[in-house]
């Protein structure tokens, strides 16, 4: 069996091994620097999406109040109506995304 000092000597030899020299690593990092800033269009799209979802949420809450006042429905019935509307929105988004993929693949094949 190896003694503790022999193991330490072997580990010290492993510490001396360098795969990349420090000077070349620094020069390659500077030479291949990438502009990682986020374009302004991304921020605009994020703001538009947030405002769109805010408007949809306000519409849904006002729709519930409108239905309660106009038809005299209770909160359980309004909850079911809201559930159906939310399910239709989710289904519409799912169909749109998959439909867009299908149309994109069809254009590539044609």
Between 97 and 29, the more confident residue is 97
pLDDT, one tens digit per residue, over 59-73 is 888 988 999 999 999
Given a contact cutoff of 8 angstroms between Cβ atoms, the answer to whether 78 and 67 are in contact is: yes
Distance, in Å, from the CA atom of 42 to the CA atom of 40, rounded to the nearest integer, reads 5
Distance, in Å, from the CA atom of 88 to the CA atom of 108, rounded to the nearest integer, reads 30
Between 30 and 5, the more confident residue is 5
pLDDT, one tens digit per residue, over 64-107 is 899 999 999 998 999 999 899 889 988 988 888 888 887 777 66
H or E element in which residue 46 lies: helix 40-71
pTM of the model: 0.47
């Amino acid at each position: 069996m190896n003694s503790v000092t022999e193991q330490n000597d072997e580990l010290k030899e492993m510490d001396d091994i360098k795969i990349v020299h420090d000077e070349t690593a620094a020069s390659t990092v500077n030479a291949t620097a990438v502009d990682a800033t986020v374009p302004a269009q991304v921020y605009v799209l994020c703001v538009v999406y947030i405002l769109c979802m805010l408007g949809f949420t306000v519409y849904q809450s006002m729709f519930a109040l409108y239905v309660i006042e106009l038809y005299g429905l209770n909160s359980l019935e309004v909850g079911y109506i809201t559930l159906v509307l939310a399910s239709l929105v989710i289904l519409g988004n799912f169909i749109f995304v998959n439909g867009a993929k299908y149309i994109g693949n069809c254009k590539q094949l044609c």
